[in-house]
Amino acid sequence: MIQSNKLTNPVAEFNGVFLRYPGGHDVLKEIQLTLEPASFHFLTGESGAGKTSLLRLLYLNHLPSKGRIRLFGQAVDTLNRRQRTLIRRKIGVVFQDFQLLEHLNAFDNVALPLRIEGVRESEVKRHVTELLAWVGLEKQLLAYPDTLSGGEKQRIAIARAVINRPQLLLADEPTGNVDDELAKRLLYLFLELNKLGTTVVIATHNKQLIKHFGFPELHLKEGRLEVIPENKYMDMAMKLFARGEKHD
Amino acid sequence: MIKKDIPFREDTAKYFLPWMSFLMVFIAVLALTGGFKIQNILNTWQIGVSGSMTVQIPAYDAQGKSREAVLDEEIEQVLTILRSSEGVLGAEVVSDEQMKALMEPWMGGELDIQLLPLPKLIDVSVDAQNLPNLTTIKSELAKQVPSAVLDSHRIWLDSLLKIIHMVIELISFVLVLLILTATFTVMYSTNASLSVHQPVIALIHMIGAGDFYIAIQYAYRNLKLIFAGGCFGLLASIGLVFLISYFTRYLFVDFYPNAVLDTLQWGLILSVPVWVGILGFITTYLTVLKYLKRFL
Ligand SMILES: Nc1ncnc2c1ncn2[C@@H]1O[C@H](COP(=O)(O)OP(=O)(O)OP(=O)(O)O)[C@@H](O)[C@H]1O
Ligand SMILES: [Mg+2]
């Protein structure tokens, strides 16, 4: 009873996590990280800094070579195959290279996570049509990925990642192929989900976007993680400061 | 419902597996039918390996003249030849009492056996695993006791039976080989297909597909291919069996009816594609499960 409001297990907890690919050096070093439920983070760092690698640990594509990771309150190294599968279903991923299935059309690609979960086909149809319309692809329902532009593919990848309302949404450069306006629009989709309780981590190089939304930044540098706190009022503060200087 | 996320259209198993199954079932059905027919013929003969033969020393001489009695010395000679032959376990003269008992049903109990020109019978028990060399025994007998006759029909029959049993064992062996080959072929073909579709499988695994979800797609797909090929194999094989039967019926008029298959045997033969399908299904399923272990 006393513990009853402790529903809020962190979505993810990293404790001294290292990652080393077979035959390589440590790509991630001593990562200390807690993702609270319904938090929103940008993940930044130079190319090769380890952003994708960090996300891979989060979606259970790799286990750490050292250190402990807990996802949804469970230590990942103690999970069996079935439990890992169930955890993956709570996680939506937008892959850096989209990873669309070339033999499936836009509709079927987006429908995949629902079908894997065994959702009724009438439900699948309703949700997928709705979501594809939201990302502006209502006319491309039956188009195959190789007939679509980079931005369109990206939007399908995003739609597939969010279709089953994941508790954790991981997006690896989800706005790399679209203009700033569309990028913002897509981020608002993530924001909507975030408001409904989804924890979001977005790897991006887009400074403009980070500035615009002002969420805290997880910054990777040579495999080490640094958390740059929320800077919602940064823009404003900068302006005020600048103005003050002028008036001085 | 079994989902179809994996683009099976793009791999070669769809040509390979049905052909494999066609061939396997074709050969298996021929072998089974042959085996069953041989078994049925054997059963109607109702004989097994007996392990005995008889030597007769007739009560008339080589010129056909009857004589008083068979000489003891001849009997001794025959016994010596027999007992010294490899593969002979024992040789005993059938006593007058035994002879009398044998004759009783025809001659009545009052028979004086000494009055009849009966041959002396020697009962020879032989090692069924290591049959004596009949040619040597015969030539020895011909040299020393020309009137002695070796009645070895049973032995010839036994040898024939042994050959037939060997044929049946051979057929079983062929069937085992077929099953092994089919299993390995299915494993190989499944693994080939899995490598082709590795990126797709990795992706659906990553977005939450369980092992069952993926393995069942493969198993079901291979089942269809194998069963389809197997059905054609069965048809072809049965066609050939009927053709052969049709011709042998003219060659062995008396012989043929013995070999008619019963319902159970027909059931087994007709269900071969089903068994092969089930075998393929299970093999595929397990092969995919093993493959999936490489993904965390
Ligand atoms: N599967 C792998 N096997 C071995 N090394 C890898 C593998 N994936 C990534 N690396 C290495 O790990 C390091 C970090 O790669 P990662 O993809 O995580 O960087 P990133 O921050 O996502 O870069 P980018 O911004 O270019 O996408 C790189 O040096 C890369 O070469
Ligand atoms: Mg990357």
Residues with Cβ–ion distance below 5 A, ligand 2: A 51-52, 96
- Mean pLDDT, residues B75-104 taken together: 83
Q: Which of A93-97, A237-241, B117-121 has the lowest mean pLDDT?
A: A237-241
A23 phi/psi in degrees, rounded to 5 = 80, 0
Asked if the Cβ–Cβ distance from A84 to B296 is below 8 Å, we say: yes
Q: Of A62, A99, A116, which has the smallest distance from its Cβ to B208's Cβ?
A: A116
What's the rounded Cα separation, in Å, for the pair B120 and B98? 11
In angstroms, what is the C-alpha Rg of chain A?
19
Q: Tell me the DSSP string of chain B.
A: -----S-GGGSTHHHHHHHHHHHHHHHHHHHHHHHHHHHHHHHHHT-----EEEEEE-SB-TTS-B-S---HHHHHHHHHHHHTSTTEEEEEEPPHHHHHHHHHHHH-TT--GGGS-PPEEEEEEE-TTS---HHHHHHHHHHH-TT-EEE-HHHHHHHHHHHHHHHHHHHHHHHHHHHHHHHHHHHHHHHHHHHHTHHHHHHHHHTT--HHHHHHHHHHHHHHHHHHHHHHHHHHHHHHHHHHHHHHHHH-TTTGGGG---HHHHHHHHTHHHHHHHHHHHHHHHHHHHHHTT--
- Mean pLDDT, residues A33-51 taken together: 90
Enter the CATH code of domain A12-90+166-242: 3.40.50.300
Coarse DSSP helix, strand, coil percentages of chain A, rounded to the nearest 5 percent: 40, 25, 35
Mean pLDDT is highest, among A63-67, B61-65, B129-133, for A63-67
Check residues B136 and B108 and name the one with the higher pLDDT: B136
Closest CA to A201 of A33, A83, A2: A33
Task: Please check the confidence at residue B247 and state whether its pLDDT lies above 60.
Answer: yes
> Domain extents for chain A?
12-90+166-242, 105-160
- Mean pLDDT, residues B65-90 taken together: 79
- Mean pLDDT, residues B90-119 taken together: 74
- Cβ of A50 below 6 Å from ligand 1: yes
Is pTM, for the whole model, over 0.90?
A: no
pLDDT tens profile B167-197: 888 989 999 999 999 999 999 999 999 998 9
Min Cα–Cα distance to chain B from A8, Å: 24
Nearest Cα residue to atom 25 of ligand 1: A47
Q: Of B7, B204, B296, which has the smallest distance from its Cβ to A112's Cβ?
A: B204
Tokens for B48, please give them.
């097994």
Among B1, B2, B5, pick the best mutation site for testing chain A contact (most A Cβ within 10 A).
B5
CB proximity B10 to A under 8 Å: yes
| A224 CA → ligand 2 middle, Å | 15
Asked if the Cβ–Cβ distance from B296 to A89 is below 8 Å, we say: no
- Mean pLDDT, residues B57-66 taken together: 65
Task: Please check the confidence at residue A84 and state whether its pLDDT lies above 90.
Answer: yes
Q: What percent of chain B has pLDDT over 90?
A: 38
pLDDT band at A8 (very low <50, low <70, confident <90, very high): confident
Distance of CA A121 to the CA centre of its chain: 27
- Mean pLDDT, residues B153-169 taken together: 76
Please tell me the predicted confidence (pLDDT) of residue B113. Answer: 67
Burial class (CB in 10 A: 0-12, 13-18, 19+), A121: exposed
For residue A206, give every residue at least 6 positions away whose Cβ sits within 8 Å of its Cβ, in sequence order, or none.
Answer: A175, A180, A183
Task: Please check the confidence at residue A10 and state whether its pLDDT lies above 70.
Answer: yes
Tokens for B223, please give them.
């089942």
B228 phi/psi in degrees, rounded to 5 = -60, -50
Q: Tell me the DSSP string of B137-195.
A: HHHHHHHH-TT-EEE-HHHHHHHHHHHHHHHHHHHHHHHHHHHHHHHHHHHHHHHHHHH
Question: Which residue does chain B place closest to A90, by CA atoms?
Answer: B208
Tell me what the pLDDT averaged over chain B comes to. Answer: 82
Check residues A236 and B152 and name the one with the higher pLDDT: B152
> How are beta strands A74-75 and A66-71 bridged, if at all?
antiparallel
Largest CA distance in chain B: 103
Say if residues B190 and B20 touch (Cβ distance below 8 Å): no
Work out the number of other CB atoms within 10 angstroms of the CB of residue A228: 13
ipTM over 0.90: no
Task: Please check the confidence at residue B277 and state whether its pLDDT lies above 70.
Answer: yes
- Cβ of A21 below 6 Å from ligand 1: yes
pLDDT band at B19 (very low <50, low <70, confident <90, very high): very high
SS3 state at A167 = coil
What's the rounded Cα separation, in Å, for the pair A102 and B203? 12
What's the rounded Cα separation, in Å, for the pair B125 and A122? 82
Please tell me the predicted confidence (pLDDT) of residue B290. Answer: 95
Q: What percent of chain B has pLDDT over 70?
A: 82
| A21 CA → ligand 1 middle, Å | 9
Tell me what the pLDDT averaged over chain A comes to. Answer: 85
Question: Which residue does chain B place closest to A87, by CA atoms?
Answer: B208
A44 phi/psi in degrees, rounded to 5 = -125, 175
- Cβ of A206 below 6 Å from ligand 1: no
Closest CA to B11 of B171, B271, B222: B222
